[in-house]
């Protein structure tokens, strides 16, 4: 009787609707799994068509081509004598399901539909799929004619069933079913299922990687058994980056785990384990055994096949991570600690990998970035440089696909990248677009960073273009608008700022289209944007300025995280130019300098600090707080502010949010990173036309402020959910200056000019000079 089983979890960088490429990557993963000795291969969710097909799932062509790919896989000799499950959509009785299709040689064994769909975050699975709600039930599924001709089968089981081989039993979960309180792995393990395979499409968010690992470890710790987690990786055509991390788990510990971030399209994670470890582990948990004796059975598809080897000398996997468990059963030939990337490392890797996938699949020749010398655009530049480092590293390790892709991008079939700076010079064009309002310091900072990362850099002055636009206006109106420092009105001041900002977008696209022509290369460049998640939330950007681009690598990242990332990146790559960038106060430089010094600071313009913005963002999205709930939480958290001051801050934020929400409708696509992103394409569905007075909500806040004022004391609270430690030690209202700020009028342009209220209110703010 065999004991040792070798299984494979596959990480694939698939591309939605790229059936040819997806087929080749699946076939490669099967070939590598067999070469490693695996008898069972499991792949990620919807791997045949790609996860992000979205409304293409409505098309019968998508379903047809999935069956065609499955038929090609079954015909291949590579797929012989190995049990395989793949992910694809299947229509049963005119209803489309997200399914795992398991086959062996030329026989389809089972079609297992997803039972719990994911609807949160960026997921909208019920738009295209229906859940299978008939637990432990199967129905007859009539195979398409092309498959029947290949297999000789007309009907196969469709539903909630498991597969019994001669030596073990295999069950299935699909992504969300692992995360749900009613996970399928619990009743399946009670019914003797020893191997559970999960084909997943889990995407990247900061500080999330440990969650999946903990879920699987917990599942196998309680129930025992082997759990195979196969995940997608990369950008398959949208805003999300699937973050890999496929792994094989046994009885509460990790046998093997794949990389979270990488440029390779196919990664096969293999482990060998002893079936008797599962059985003895479960048998020693007596309460589990008593419950299992009363469990209801699953329908079983019985097959004449064995996963285990007769060779008892085969060594189980020697990668054992966190082996603590409730008894001493099982193999103990090693102990390692699982490690996770820091948030700064995640920022340096995930958007960089996302940029690579976008670049190579868009058939463009590189990137164009307006580089202002500030934290945001410098972060975008550093992410491109990080991408270049990853490319050089992958090529040096022999990744033929990366080498082939970079040769296509640069238009040189013999090119071999060996130096990240040289590659960055080839792929990234940066440009400082100065005006008479720009300072020499920002120009120097941009030039020095470009020099250190190697980008192809230019300094230009756009004052002639600004004057030309103003000349058109003056020709018609005979009026010359002035900045407020020269006696102009708020509307004049705002219009003059927006001309500069919007011209930079036009110039950026001109340069992106022609710079490769100048350099003697074919194609064009992708324009990169540099607006962070906090400024998008606040609306602190101009519609159709440099925030409008092809893609934005930092659009899902907070200002504070970007600063921490630059600190990390400076140490890792020795980029001393980042020191001055991090020390400088954030500024748009759209208003005239006074004696060569800045008069415009972002946090002053916004009337709130980036720390406060991050707090507002997390409360609004993660804690589902409206204006009143946000005030109620913060009044007990911001101890150094009076209730009136907290109320003023909350009201100011929600006024700005309402006035500027329309800008989210044209927000440049960015790599989804942060859990409080305001991106309304998929993640944050809200109106874009608000009554910005919030009269009812603000009246409720005023009533509480009035009560607090009458009682002459602040209410106490035991609510710890917003303890500063739980919002990553955000400190607000401490050591602050006071200044008059003004409410913004409901216009539709950057940093809308304030309208003076009857009684100016005081908005505390932190020092803008300090850095993280």
User: CA–CA separation, 33 vs 45, rounded Å?
Assistant: 18
- 521: helix, strand or coil: coil
CB 253 within 8 A of CB 321: yes
Looking at the fold, whether 401 and 439 belong to one and the same domain comes out as yes
Beta bridge partner(s), residue 249: 227, 254
* CATH number (domain holding residue 519): 3.40.50.620
CB 608 within 8 A of CB 653: yes
Looking at the fold, whether 578 and 624 belong to one and the same domain comes out as no
User: CA–CA separation, 670 vs 724, rounded Å?
Assistant: 28
User: CA–CA separation, 231 vs 245, rounded Å?
Assistant: 7
Looking at the fold, whether 297 and 398 belong to one and the same domain comes out as no
The full DSSP string for 603-636 is HHHHTS-HHHHHHHHHHHHTS---HHHHHHHHTT
Q: Is 478 a catalytic residue?
A: no
Residue 730 lies in a domain: no
Looking at residue 327, its pLDDT comes to 32
Among the candidates 292, 322, 352, a domain finishes at: 322
Indicate which residue of 10, 32, 42, 45 is catalytic: 45
Looking at residue 546, its pLDDT comes to 83
Looking at the fold, whether 296 and 357 belong to one and the same domain comes out as no
Looking at the fold, whether 382 and 527 belong to one and the same domain comes out as yes
CA distances to 175, 521, 597, 644, 757 from 739, rounded to whole Å, are 51, 53, 20, 15, 14
Indicate which residue of 53, 66, 175, 546 is catalytic: 175
Looking at residue 709, its pLDDT comes to 85
Split into its structural domains, the chain has a count of: 3
How confident is the model over 727-771, as pLDDT tens digits?
Answer: 333 333 433 333 333 334 444 444 443 333 333 333 333 333 222
Residue 19 lies in a domain: yes
Looking at residue 313, its pLDDT comes to 64
Looking at the fold, whether 314 and 386 belong to one and the same domain comes out as no
Strands 226-231 and 40-42: unpaired
Looking at the fold, whether 130 and 37 belong to one and the same domain comes out as yes
Looking at residue 587, its pLDDT comes to 86
Angle at 562 between CA 557 and CA 563, to 5 degrees: 155
Angle at 204 between CA 45 and CA 320, to 5 degrees: 75
How confident is the model over 279-310, as pLDDT tens digits?
Answer: 999 999 999 999 999 999 999 999 999 999 87
Looking at residue 731, its pLDDT comes to 35
Looking at residue 596, its pLDDT comes to 60
Residue 446 lies in a domain: yes
Q: Is 328 a catalytic residue?
A: no
Looking at the fold, whether 287 and 377 belong to one and the same domain comes out as no
Looking at residue 721, its pLDDT comes to 44
Residue 33 lies in a domain: yes
Looking at the fold, whether 65 and 118 belong to one and the same domain comes out as yes
Structure tokens at 352: 């960089």
Residue 390 lies in a domain: yes
* CATH number (domain holding residue 43): 3.60.110.10
CB 128 within 8 A of CB 54: yes
Looking at the fold, whether 175 and 216 belong to one and the same domain comes out as yes
Indicate which residue of 34, 114, 543, 559 is catalytic: 114
The helix-helix angle for 627-634 and 643-660 (nearest 10°) equals 150
Q: Is 745 a catalytic residue?
A: no
Indicate which residue of 372, 379, 438, 670 is catalytic: 372
Q: State which residues form the domain around 191.
A: 4-322
Looking at the fold, whether 166 and 111 belong to one and the same domain comes out as yes
The series of mean pLDDT values per 10 residues for the chain, 772 residues long, is 88 98 98 97 98 98 98 97 98 98 97 97 96 98 97 98 97 95 93 97 94 91 96 97 96 94 98 95 93 94 93 54 35 54 97 98 97 97 99 97 98 97 98 94 97 98 96 95 93 95 97 97 96 94 92 96 98 97 90 73 91 95 95 93 95 96 94 91 90 96 91 53 41 36 40 37 34 29
Among the candidates 709, 736, 753, a domain finishes at: 709
Looking at the fold, whether 578 and 435 belong to one and the same domain comes out as yes
Q: Is 595 a catalytic residue?
A: no
Looking at residue 588, its pLDDT comes to 82
């Amino acid at each position: 009787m065999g004991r040792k089983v070798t299984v494979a979890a596959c990480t694939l960088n698939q591309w939605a609707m790229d059936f040819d490429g997806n087929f080749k990557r699946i076939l490669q993963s099967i070939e590598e799994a067999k070469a490693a000795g695996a008898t069972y291969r499991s792949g990620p969710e919807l791997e045949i068509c790609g996860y992000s097909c979205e409304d293409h799932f409505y098309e019968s062509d998508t379903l047809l081509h999935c069956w065609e790919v499955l038929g090609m896989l079954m015909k291949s000799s590579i797929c012989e004598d190995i049990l395989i499950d793949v992910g694809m959509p299947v229509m049963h009785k005119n209803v489309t399901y997200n399914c795992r299709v398991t086959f062996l040689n030329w026989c389809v064994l089972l079609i297992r539909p997803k039972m719990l769909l994911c609807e949160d975050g960026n997921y909208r699975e019920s738009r295209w799929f229906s859940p299978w709600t008939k637990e432990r039930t199967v129905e007859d599924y009539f195979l398409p004619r092309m498959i029947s001709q290949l297999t000789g089968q007309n009907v196969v089981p469709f539903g909630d069933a498991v597969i019994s081989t001669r030596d073990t039993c295999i069950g299935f979960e699909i992504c969300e079913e692992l995360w749900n309180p009613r996970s399928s792995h619990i009743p399946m393990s009670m019914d003797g299922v020893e191997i559970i395979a999960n084909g997943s499409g889990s995407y990247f968010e900061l500080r999330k990687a440990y969650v999946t690992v903990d879920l699987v470890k917990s599942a196998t710790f309680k129930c025992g058994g082997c759990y195979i987690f196969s995940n997608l990786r990369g950008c398959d055509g949208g805003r999300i980056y699937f973050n890999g991390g496929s792994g094989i788990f046994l009885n509460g510990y990790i046998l093997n785990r794949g990389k979270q971030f990488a440029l390779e399209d196919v990664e096969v994670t293999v482990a060998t384990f002893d079936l008797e470890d599962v059985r003895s582990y479960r048998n020693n948990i007596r309460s589990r055994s008593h419950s299992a004796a009363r469990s209801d059975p699953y329908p079983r598809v019985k097959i004449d096949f064995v996963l285990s080897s007769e060779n008892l000398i085969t060594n189980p996997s020697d990668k054992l991570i966190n082996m603590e468990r409730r008894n001493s059963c099982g193999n103990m030939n090693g102990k390692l600690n699982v490690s996770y990337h820091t948030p700064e490392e995640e920022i340096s890797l995930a958007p960089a990998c996302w940029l690579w996938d976008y670049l190579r699949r868009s058939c463009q020749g590189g990137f164009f970035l307006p580089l202002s010398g500030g934290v945001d655009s410098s972060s975008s530049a550093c992410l491109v440089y990080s991408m270049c480092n990853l490319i050089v590293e992958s090529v040096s390790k022999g990744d033929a696909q990366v080498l082939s892709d970079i040769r296509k991008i640069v238009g040189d079939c013999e090119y071999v990248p060996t130096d990240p700076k040289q590659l960055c010079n080839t792929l990234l064009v940066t440009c400082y677009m100065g005006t008479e309002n720009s300072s020499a310091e920002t120009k120097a900072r941009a030039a020095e960073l470009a020099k250190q990362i190697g980008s192809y850099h230019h300094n230009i002055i756009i004052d002639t273009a600004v004057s030309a636009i103003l000349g058109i206006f003056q020709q018609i109106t005979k009026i010359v608008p002035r900045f407020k420092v020269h006696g102009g009105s708020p509307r004049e001041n705002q219009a003059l700022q927006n001309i500069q900002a919007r011209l930079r977008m036009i110039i950026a696209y001109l340069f992106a289209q022609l710079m490769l022509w100048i350099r003697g290369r074919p194609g064009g460049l992708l324009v990169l944007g540099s607006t962070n998640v906090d400024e998008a939330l606040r609306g602190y950007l101009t519609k159709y300025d440099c925030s409008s681009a092809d893609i934005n690598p930092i659009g899902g990242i907070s200002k504070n995280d970007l600063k921490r990332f630059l600190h990390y990146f400076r140490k890792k790559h020795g980029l001393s130019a980042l020191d001055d960038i991090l020390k400088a106060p954030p500024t748009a430089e759209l208003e005239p300098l006074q004696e060569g010094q800045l008069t415009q600071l972002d946090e002053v313009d916004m009337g709130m600090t980036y720390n406060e913005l991050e707090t507002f963002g997390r409360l609004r999205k993660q804690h589902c707080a409206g204006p009143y709930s946000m005030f109620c939480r913060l009044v007990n958290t911001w101890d150094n502010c009076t209730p009136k001051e907290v109320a003023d801050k909350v009201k100011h934020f929600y006024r700005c949010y309402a006035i500027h929400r329309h800008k989210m409708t044209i927000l440049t696509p960015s790599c989804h990173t942060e859990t409080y992103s305001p991106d309304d394409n998929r993640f944050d569905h809200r109106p874009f036309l608000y009554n910005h007075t919030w009269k009812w909500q603000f009246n409720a806040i005023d009533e509480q402020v009035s009560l607090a004022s009458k009682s002459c004391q602040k209410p106490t609270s035991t609510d710890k959910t917003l303890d500063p430690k739980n919002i990553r030690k955000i400190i607000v209202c401490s050591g602050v200056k006071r200044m008059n700020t003004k409410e913004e009028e409901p216009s539709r342009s950057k940093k809308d000019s304030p309208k003076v209220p009857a009684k100016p209110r005081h908005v505390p703010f932190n020092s803008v000079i300090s850095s993280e």
